[in-house]
C-alpha cells in the first residue's frame, strides 16, 4: 500500500496526524504533500514536530491568492508529484482549496481518493468551503464520514452506500494525544493568562473577514463580551484577519478593550488555551468540534454551521455577526452545564481508516 496524504492548512495537519501516526506504526508506505495554502512549510515545521509527525515529502509552496489562482497552482504542481510518486490512493481532509485541487488532480490521474471528514454541509453555497467539500465528496472513492448524520447526507446526494464508512472524527484521536502533554496548564500561564479566567476567539472565514460590516459587528460583540465577563479575550489572529482589522481601523480599538491580539499559535499553545478557556467564540468549524470534545462552551460567529451535531448536543450556539446576539449567546453558553455527550467518536478514527485502506490495498 502506497498512500499519499495531501494537506495545506494547520487544521488539516491536526486531523491527518492520527492517520499518519497509524501508518508509521504499521510501517506502511506513505508520502506527505504540503501545499502551503495558508503558510509555508517552513512556518509549519514546528507544527509537524509538536504533533509527532515526520517532515513533509514534498512542499508545493503555492502561497495565498484568489481561489482560482490558488486552486490552479495546486492542480498544476501536484499533478507532476502524483505521476512521480504513483500512490495507490490519495487522502484529503476537510474543505479547503487543497482538498478540492488534490482530489481533482488525483481522479484525473485515475488514482482513487479517500475523503476524510466527508458529508459535512452548511447548505450555503456562497461559502467556498461548501463547494470544496461537495466536489471532493462526489469524486472520492472512499468517504470517511465522521458521524451518522454526515453519512445520511451523502446517501441523500446519491452516493453509493458501499463508498461510505462512518469512522468518527480524527480530531478526537488528536485531542486525546495532545491532552497527554502535561505542560498544557503551564503553557497557558506562560502566555500570561490564568486557566478559566479568559475567553478565546478565532476569526478567519471569508464571509466575516472580507465584509467590513460583519467584521465590525464581531469586534463590537467581542468588546461587549469582554466587558460583561470582565475577562480578556485572547485573539490569535490569522494574517489575513489582522490585515483587514488594520485596513478598516479596527485593530487599535481591540487593544483598548481588553482584547489581546496574538500571532498564529502552534498546536500545543493553542490547544492549551482552548482547553482552559471559559468560553470560545469562533467561525472555525474545527474549533467548534474541538471545543465540543473538550467540553468548553462555544459561540459560533456565523449564521450556519456544517457541524450541527455541536448545536444538537448543547455545546454550541450560532450568533452570526450581530453584537447583541454574540453577547446573549455568550451569556447563555457560559451558564450551560458542561455535561454534553461527544458526538464525534471514540478516538479510534485513524485506526479505522487505515484498517479500511489496508483491506483494499495490500
25 or 179, greater pLDDT: 25
Look at residue 256 in the predicted model and tell me its pLDDT. 67
Region 177-193: what's the mean pLDDT? 87
Fold agreement (2-169+345-360, 184-334)? yes
Is the pLDDT reported for residue 152 higher than 90? yes
Whether domain 184-334 has CATH 3.40.50.2000: the reply is yes
Is the pLDDT reported for residue 344 higher than 80? yes
- Return the SS3 of 31: strand
Confidence of residue 49 (pLDDT cuts 50, 70, 90): confident
Cα gap 318→328, rounded to integer Å? 11
Region 204-212: what's the mean pLDDT? 94
CA separation, residue 102 to residues 85, 115, 117, 291, 302 (Å): 14, 10, 15, 28, 27
**Which residues participate in catalysis according to the annotation?**
204
Q: pLDDT tens digit string along 268-288? A: 899 999 999 999 999 999 999
Region 165-189: what's the mean pLDDT? 91
Cα gap 122→135, rounded to integer Å? 14
Look at residue 163 in the predicted model and tell me its pLDDT. 98
Q: pLDDT tens digit string along 102-149? A: 999 999 999 999 999 999 999 999 999 999 999 999 999 999 999 999
Region 72-95: what's the mean pLDDT? 97
Q: Alpha helices, DSSP H only, in the chain?
A: 10-25, 41-50, 67-85, 97-108, 128-139, 148-156, 170-179, 184-190, 206-209, 212-229, 239-247, 251-255, 267-276, 285-294, 308-312, 323-334, 349-360
Confidence of residue 43 (pLDDT cuts 50, 70, 90): low
CB 34 within 8 A of CB 53: no
Mean pLDDT of the chain: 94
Region 163-190: what's the mean pLDDT? 92
- Return the SS3 of 104: helix
Is the pLDDT reported for residue 42 higher than 80? no
Region 227-248: what's the mean pLDDT? 93
Question: Domain extents for the chain?
Answer: 2-169+345-360, 184-334
Region 221-238: what's the mean pLDDT? 95
Percent with pLDDT over 90 in the chain: 83
Confidence of residue 40 (pLDDT cuts 50, 70, 90): low
Cα gap 217→324, rounded to integer Å? 9
- Residue 354 C-alpha cell reads as 487505515
- In CATH terms, the fold of domain 2-169+345-360 is Rossmann fold (3.40.50)
Percent with pLDDT over 70 in the chain: 98
63: Cβ–Cβ under 8 A, 6 or more apart, which residues?
36, 40, 70, 73
Amino acid at each position: 500500500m502506497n498512500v499519499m496524504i495531501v494537506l495545506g492548512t494547520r487544521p488539516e495537519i491536526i486531523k491527518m496526524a492520527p492517520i499518519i501516526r497509524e501508518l508509521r506504526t504499521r510501517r506502511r508506505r506513505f508520502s506527505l504533500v504540503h501545499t502551503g495554502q495558508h503558510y509555508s512549510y517552513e512556518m509549519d515545521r514546528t507544527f509537524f514536530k509538536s504533533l509527532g509527525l515526520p517532515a513533509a515529502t514534498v512542499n508545493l509552496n503555492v502561497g495565498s491568492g484568489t481561489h482560482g489562482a490558488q486552486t490552479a497552482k495546486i492542480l498544476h504542481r501536484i499533478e507532476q508529484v502524483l505521476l512521480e510518486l504513483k500512490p495507490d490512493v490519495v487522502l484529503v481532509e476537510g474543505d479547503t482549496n487543497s482538498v478540492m485541487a488534490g482530489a481533482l488532480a488525483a481522479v484525473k490521474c485515475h488514482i482513487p481518493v479517500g475523503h476524510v471528514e466527508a458529508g459535512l454541509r452548511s447548505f450555503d453555497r456562497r461559502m467556498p468551503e461548501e463547494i470544496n467539500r461537495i466536489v471532493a465528496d462526489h469524486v472520492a472513492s472512499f468517504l470517511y464520514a465522521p458521524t451518522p448524520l454526515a453519512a445520511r447526507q451523502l446517501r441523500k446526494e446519491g452516493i453509493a452506500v458501499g463508498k461510505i464508512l462512518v469512522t468518527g472524527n480524527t480530531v478526537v484521536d488528536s485531542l486525546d494525544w495532545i491532552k497527554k502533554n502535561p505542560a498544557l496548564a503551564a503553557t497557558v500561564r506562560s502566555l500570561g493568562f490564568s486557566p478559566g479566567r479568559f475567553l478565546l476567539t478565532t476569526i478567519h472565514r471569508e464571509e466575516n473577514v472580507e465584509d467590513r460590516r460583519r467584521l465590525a459587528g464581531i469586534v463590537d460583540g467581542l468588546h461587549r463580551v469582554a466587558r460583561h465577563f470582565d475577562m480578556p479575550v485572547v485573539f490569535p489572529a490569522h494574517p489575513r484577519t489582522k490585515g483587514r482589522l488594520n485596513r478598516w481601523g479596527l485593530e487599535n480599538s481591540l487593544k483598548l478593550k481588553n482584547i489581546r491580539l496574538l500571532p498564529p499559535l502552534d498546536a500545543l499553545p493553542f490547544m492549551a488555551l482552548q482547553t482552559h478557556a471559559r468560553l470560545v467564540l469562533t467561525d472555525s468549524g474545527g474549533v467548534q468540534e474541538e471545543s465540543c470534545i473538550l467540553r468548553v462552551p462555544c459561540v459560533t460567529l456565523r449564521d450556519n454551521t456544517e457541524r450541527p451535531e455541536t448545536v444538537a448536543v448543547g455545546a454550541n450556539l450560532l450568533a452570526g455577526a450581530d453584537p447583541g446576539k454574540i453577547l446573549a449567546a455568550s451569556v447563555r453558553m457560559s451558564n450551560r452545564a458542561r455535561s454534553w455527550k461527544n458526538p464525534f467518536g471514540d478516538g479510534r478514527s485513524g485506526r479505522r481508516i487505515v484498517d479500511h485502506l489496508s483491506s483494499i490495498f495490500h
